[in-house]
Amino acid sequence: MTTFDAVLCDLDGVLRQFDHAVQADIEARYGLPLMRTAFDPALIGPPTLGLATTLEWAESVAVALGGDERARQAVAEFVAVPFRVDEEVRALLARARERMPVVLVTNAMDSLEEHLDLLGLTYFADDVVSSARVGVAKPDRRIYEIAAERAGVPAERCLFVDDRLENVEAARALGMTGVHFRIADDLAAALGTLR
């Protein structure tokens, strides 16, 4: 018997993977701290909460890196780094969705819908809870409550999957079953009772 009736799953680092080697190469070529700057909470916070656009975020990163043409070119390349779907995770979630709702819960910007379309994931899940659209981000408890509401399942009957431990711990604090995702086998083990 399962201990959950819905799967709430993170997008980045779980279902969507970025090419980190390309990111590292861009940083090395330009000699700029792109990763650290791009994910500085002061810069990424506003677009993640829907208070700034993806373009405004990119410009703020370029300005923080010096604001010259070289910084803007580095940021443009960084923003365009390829991403892909983890097909093993997609298959596991698709199998779970045959039995229960699957909701994507992601700290994202206003470009999320375009990216889901590029990945062929627009209609993959039963719902998508984007921090940029709901105005709260993980690990704020409200985003988990919204996701459970959208799934139509009490929080304590949700399985929550994320690659960031702090996000998993926040879900567990609400009574959810939490899975700290590192590899697809982590998700497969949690879904094992569905086989």
Res. 4: pLDDT tops 80: yes
pTM (2 d.p.): 0.94
Q: Which amino acid is at 9?
A: C
pLDDT average, residue stretch 103-129: 97
Distance CA 35, CA 178 (A): 27
pLDDT, one tens digit per residue, over 157-171 is 999 999 999 999 999
Instruction: Please say whether the beta carbons of 151 and 4 come within 8 A.
Output: no
**Helix, strand, coil fractions of the chain, as percent rounded to 5:** 50, 15, 35
Maximum C-alpha span of the chain: 59
